[in-house]
Structure 1
Amino acid sequence: MPKSLSLRSGLGSILFWSVISAAFIGPGSVTACTMAGAQYGLHLLWVLTFATFGTVWLQEAASRITIATGRDLGQTIALANRQRGKTVPVLLFLAVWLGCAAYQAGNILGAVSGLVLLTGWSAKWLTLLVGLICLILLAIGSTQWIANFLGIIVFAMGGAFAYVAFGASPPAGEVLKALVVPAVPAGSLLLINSLIGTTIVPYNLFFGSGITQGQTLSEMRLGIWIAVLLGGFISVVLLIAGLLVTGGFSFVNMATVLNDRLGEWGGFLFAFGLFAAGFASSLTAPLAAAVTARSLLGWSAHSWQYRLVLVGVIAVGLAFGLSEYNPVTIIVVVQAINGILLPAVTLFLFLAVNDRNLIPAEYRNSWAQNVAMVSVVVISLLLGGWNVWLAIQKLLI
């Protein structure tokens, strides 16, 4: 007989799944959302509605696979494509690894940008310090309590942004309309892909699927819905707070806005929250890449290949962090890369959750769930393809 959902288990599931919402409230979200508000007003709010519900639909499907079979998403995909050997798992892993490496670039840059605002120290030395600490913590495995603490700081920063957003006082009717009516202002396509890529995080599908074991369907669904909607709400208030930025978006200008609205502690909270979001995600992205490799390719957590994946992701982040490019520009671009890669991961998830040979009927997608997943694939593919086409045109001109 299925276990009923008690108040205690429900609250426990919400806290358990808050790791997913905390994972996408990183420097990418802070940057892309506030920049969207600063540059395009409320016009891109609909993207956050689409991306938030897309996260729920995809994460729920990935986690349902684990509950139904006892295997995580990567293991299920590898099993479903076993007749093709390692080709599909390897290609999918490479796509996820590329996405994690791109995220890591934004994570380290975000963490260092927060530290620069706090200390005024050299970005180059702070980048090396952040990368070294990440390597040490991942090597000894003591990351969970740090990530949890920093996650609390990130949500505190979200609360500060919510206060500031209400101070921006946009008309409620306009906000509601912008949440559901699509608009694509001129020049906004890269930022649209960034908003999708920073919210529907491809590696979270593997990461979340792997930590689902032991939960019932009702616990999992309640936890995902509430935790992800909370993350979506924070993204929305970040965008609305961006309406107050004048003179172009930058981390300094955003800190100034919070200083003006909340006093000196507001700017400090933004700087520390930006560091916390970046550093917590700097621990999560390499680990998620390695967990995906273990899931898809069967590598042991003690193997040299597993460790190489961890080091490779951190190395890419350090390389971008030590470059002289504008951190805001890099963060937006790498989030867009993940938005473009998303359809590939989603397609294999769609095939896996509908596989009659692997998934019992009661755990496979309903027609409504299939429509929701296909809409995520098609819209992400169209927007990502459009973005790539515009980039090709620029190269040819």
Structure 2
Amino acid sequence: MAERQAEASPAAGTKKALLGAMFLMATSAIGPGFITQTASFTAQLGAAFAFAIVVSILLDVAIQTNVWRVLGLSGLRAQELGERVAPGLGVVLAVCVVAGGIAFNIGNVGGAGLGLNTLTGLNVKVAALVSAAIAVAIFLVRRAGVAMDRIVVVLGALMIILTTYVAFASDPPVGDALKQAVVPDTVDFLIITTLVGGTVGGYITYAGAHRLIDSGVTGRENLQAITRGSLTGIGVTAVMRVVLFLAILGVVSAGVSLSEANPAGSAFESAAGEVGLRLFGVVLWAAGITSVIGVSYTCVSFVTSFSRGLEQRRNYLVAGFILLSIVLFLILGKAPTTVLILAGAINGLILPVGVGVILWAAWRRSHDLLGGYVYPKVLLGFGALAWVLTIWLAWKSLAGIQDLWS
């Protein structure tokens, strides 16, 4: 609660708070896991992967606009809202999100280490330690929230610019990608669920909205800003997804076989030579460290509301979460591609639970939880369709997850 009050600011600060929340959502969705998934799945499906990208973006719009609006209007974090809907539900949601977040964060610190290794030649484990130390330092400064907002904005913009350059260099078949986005040759439900889980599910669903709440941008008086922020954040995320896919598609379409150990890195190198490889190092490091920041901040926001003492020590808990992630990474040695893909798939299974809570609150509890706000039926219907689709995708992918695990 302390940070909410400290960072709450009227008109002038609202724009900065929105910008930070938007980019926290976007950079949380574009982490090392997503980069690995995009490279692997593009190599597997080619231009047909465009369909999965489009589905993930449409689901992102339906889910995030509802999540931002409901949480923003109520001023409650997702687990707090869950407890209001059904006692114990918030705890279950928090446990699921934090468990998935830990799995992802092992990959995030590893990805940051690999990015710094690619850029400087530093040992991967040492580079991961350095990256984790930088992330911890951000949360130990006096105005941690402001520092976090500025860093994710700068690094998020840098990722988009550099990846766009590589996309132009790889000369992808844009026409084929547009066609396959609507009428794909192949549809893989596990791949779609994994992509959705890795870019919309788990902690990612709530990163931006929780940041907005902590910044004090809540209530009906901020509804227009909340709506604009959610749509802009989705747009930023969509741009990065598309340009990354196109950058890799251009290489795959040219007949280049990507390295199994580092598929995305080999794609960047094939597209732009040594410069491309170094740019990949920057992109991967930026994706890794911003995702470390995003997952750690968001996961801790799911537990601090259960105790005033935890809330007062939030920044130390975030630092501890990051340290736990780097320790697990060092013990395990790496976060294999299979683990990252599996974590994304599991997040896709968790997604219907959290979204269901949000939609239930908007439909049945708007009078007491949203201050009597009359929720738009069109937006609620759009969200309900997305919710049903997430359930169907999760069901279809269960067999695929069992095969992947075995």
Decide: shared fold, TM above 0.5: yes
Residue of structure 2 equivalent to 1:353:
362
Change (3 A) 1:310 1:98: farther
State the shift of 1:386 in Å. 2.7
Partners of 1:58 and 1:346 within 8 A in 2: yes
| SS state at 1:283 partner | helix
Comparing 310-319 and 286-295, the one that deviates more: 310-319
Residue of structure 1 equivalent to 2:76:
71
| SS state at 2:203 partner | helix
CA distance in 1 between counterparts of 2:51 and 2:174 reads: 14
Residue of structure 1 equivalent to 2:67:
62
1:1-397 maps to which residues of 2 (within 5 A)? 13=18, 17-81=22-86, 84=87, 87-140=88-141, 142=144, 144-145=146-147, 148-149=150-151, 151-181=153-183, 184-185=186-187, 188-210=188-210, 211-212=212-213, 213-214=216-217, 216-243=222-249, 244-245=251-252, 246-250=256-260, 252=262, 254-295=264-305, 297-302=306-311, 311-312=320-321, 314-316=323-325, 318-325=327-334, 327-354=336-363, 355-358=365-368, 359-360=370-371, 362-366=373-377, 368-392=378-402
State the shift of 1:394 in Å. 7.5
Residue type of the alignment partner of 2:324: A
Change (3 A) 1:324 1:22: closer
Cα displacement string for residues 27-71 of structure 1 (whole angstroms, at most 9, x for unaligned residues): 122221222222211112222222223223222222222443343
Change (3 A) 1:235 1:80: same
Cα displacement string for residues 79-125 of structure 1 (whole angstroms, at most 9, x for unaligned residues): 222xx3xx212111101111211221221121111122123333333
State the shift of 1:241 in Å. 1.6
Partners of 1:74 and 1:206 within 8 A in 2: no
State the shift of 1:179 in Å. 2.3
Residue type of the alignment partner of 1:234: M
State the shift of 1:382 in Å. 2.5
State the shift of 1:350 in Å. 1.4
CA distance in 2 between counterparts of 1:147 and 1:251 reads: 33
Counting matched residue pairs gives 383
State the shift of 1:249 in Å. 4.2
| SS state at 1:163 partner | helix
CA distance in 2 between counterparts of 1:25 and 1:145 reads: 20
Partners of 1:62 and 1:205 within 8 A in 2: yes
CA distance in 2 between counterparts of 1:205 and 1:189 reads: 20
Cα displacement string for residues 280-326 of structure 1 (whole angstroms, at most 9, x for unaligned residues): 2112212211112234x354445679956763565245324542456
| SS state at 1:381 partner | helix
State the shift of 1:239 in Å. 1.4
Structure 1 residue runs of 5 or longer lacking an equivalent are: 1-5
Cα displacement string for residues 201-224 of structure 1 (whole angstroms, at most 9, x for unaligned residues): 432443333315436222222222
Partners of 1:77 and 1:89 within 8 A in 2: yes
Partners of 1:106 and 1:317 within 8 A in 2: no
Change (3 A) 1:163 1:57: same
State the shift of 1:232 in Å. 0.9
Normalising by the residue count of structure 1, what TM-score does the alignment of the two structures yield? 0.82
CA distance in 2 between counterparts of 1:127 and 1:328 reads: 17
CA distance in 1 between counterparts of 2:16 and 2:317 reads: 37
| SS state at 1:121 partner | coil
| SS state at 2:332 partner | coil
State the shift of 1:327 in Å. 3.5
State the shift of 1:171 in Å. 4.4
Residue type of the alignment partner of 2:106: A
Partners of 1:102 and 1:337 within 8 A in 2: no
CA distance in 1 between counterparts of 2:16 and 2:92 reads: 38
CA distance in 1 between counterparts of 2:180 and 2:16 reads: 31
CA distance in 2 between counterparts of 1:257 and 1:305 reads: 39
